Amino acid sequence: MSLPRIAVDAMGGDDGVRVMVEGAALARRRHDRFKFLLVGDETRIKAALDDHPNLRSASEVLHAEDTIGGEEKPSQALRRAKTTSMGLAVEAVKSGKAGAAVSGGNTGALMAIAKIALRTLPGIDRPALAALLPTLGDNDLVMLDLGANTECDARNLVEFAVMGAAYSRVVTGRIAPRVRLLNIGTEEIKGTDSLQEAAAMLRRAEGTLAMSFDGYAEADILGSGLFDVVVSDGFSGNIALKAVEGTAKFVADLLKRSFTSSLRSKIGFLISRPATDLLRHHLDPNNHNGAVFLGLNGIVVKSHGGASAAGVANAVAVAARLLEENVTERIKTDLAAIGMDDLRRTPSDRVTA
């Protein structure tokens, strides 16, 4: 069964056309139902397609005159959206020419363009950036928000929990994903007023939403596998994510240094190579590439700017899976099941209201 086309911003990412086209080609080889709209410099894209005939037969090229730089401010990017590869890729989703868009370009610009072009779903104040993190359990962890919203109130956090749970049901298959709020402690008295209010609202929604709210989580157990979704404001979430990524790189580099420090270490490396290869695979961010802007009237996936072709292929696969599982409609259904204003009230307020 063919899927709606996936628009790929071929100019986005650190290496631009070469890696983005190679990643799309790899995704096409893995899943021959994928079809693409490749957006960017037509001459360069068609030259890259010469090495990937299988992708060329499943793709249309849309020429874009310009690109958005990595340091460009979102406000500047918005003014040039109609002529840039990123803007035209998102516009293709809005117009129905594509079912989803994938870009490795400027995150802030992508969020701004996508939010203006696609708008948020009914009942959603702000979209959130969500990504998958590996864990020690049999589940990946959905983490959001990762930087789209630096300041959030309780309502925003509850919306993020609803969206994250819907996404988790797609990737984990759990009927009621286990959801926690990122906090500085697990005690009920810990955290900001917004966190405590959001926790109270989620507890009052027990039995209404397709999730299991498990209270708070500290950052040191993000990789434990004890829960499926962790929710935070974008400021805290981005810091936590960068700390996790930095620790993973530190461990990988430390192992490499240790195994090359002496002849005995090199022999030990050869003996333990199957285990270290598994560790390297588990920590490789390309294997979990593809952050999603949840809460929009359309699917937009952010690929890491430095992703390899394999990483881009994974981002494309994320977009395709969200299309197949119709995650946007799932979020709409979950939001319709709860009344945000009612959740803000205490039980006694609801009796007298």
pLDDT tens digits for range 183-199: 998 888 888 999 999 99
Which residues, listed in sequence order, are joined to residue 292 by a DSSP beta bridge?
130, 301
Summarize pLDDT for 113-170 with one digit per residue, the tens.
999 999 998 888 889 999 888 888 888 899 998 888 888 999 999 999 999 999 998 8
Both tokens assigned to 84:
């840039």
Task: Kindly report the pTM of this predicted structure.
Answer: 0.84
Between helices 327-336 and 309-325, what is the axis angle to 10°? Answer: 50
Number of domains in the chain: 1
Which amino acid, 81? A
pLDDT band at 200 (very low <50, low <70, confident <90, very high): very high
Residue 54 lies in a domain: yes
% of the chain at pLDDT higher than 70: 86
Provide the pLDDT confidence category of residue 347 given band limits of 50, 70 and 90. very low
| Domain ranges, residue 116 | 1-122+295-324
pLDDT score at 289: 77
The alpha carbon of residue 71 and the mean position of all alpha carbons in its chain are separated, in whole angstroms, by 21
Left (φ > 0), alpha (ψ -120 to 50) or beta: where does 111 sit?
Answer: alpha
In a domain, 46, yes or no: yes
Residue 331 lies in a domain: no
pLDDT in tens, 305-332: 888 888 899 899 989 989 888 888 888 8
Structure-derived torsion over alpha carbons of residues 209, 158, 292, 252, reported in degrees to the nearest 10: -100
Count the Cβ atoms, other than its own, within 10 Å of residue 312. 30
The Cα 143–Cα 161 span in angstroms is: 10
Domain membership flag for residue 230: no
Tokens 């994510």 belong to which residue? 241
Residue 131 domain-assigned (yes or no): no
CATH value at residue 98: 3.40.718.10
* Cα–Cα distances in angstroms (integers) from residue 71 to residues 11, 57, 76, 77, 323, in the given order: 15, 35, 10, 10, 31
Count CB neighbours of 33 within 10 A: 11
Please, which pLDDT band fits residue 260 given cuts at 50, 70 and 90?
A: confident
Rounded Cα distance, 236 and 229, in Å: 15
Cα atoms in the Cβ-side hemisphere of radius 13 Å centred on 322: 34
Q: Which are the contacts of 88, defined by CB distance < 8 A and separation ≥ 6?
A: 7, 39, 62, 64, 81, 82
What's the pLDDT band for 353 if we cut at 50, 70, 90? very low
What pLDDT does 352 receive?
38
In a domain, 200, yes or no: no
Q: Which of 52, 61, 43, 44 is nearest to 24 (CA)?
A: 52
Query: 210 and 176 in contact (C-beta within 8 Å)?
Result: yes
Residue 333 lies in a domain: no
Q: Residue 99: which pLDDT band, with cuts at 50, 70 and 90?
A: very high
Model confidence at 348, in pLDDT bands (50, 70, 90)?
very low
Is the residue at 7 inside a domain? yes
Between vectors from CA 302 to CA 19 and to CA 173, what angle results, nearest 5°?
110
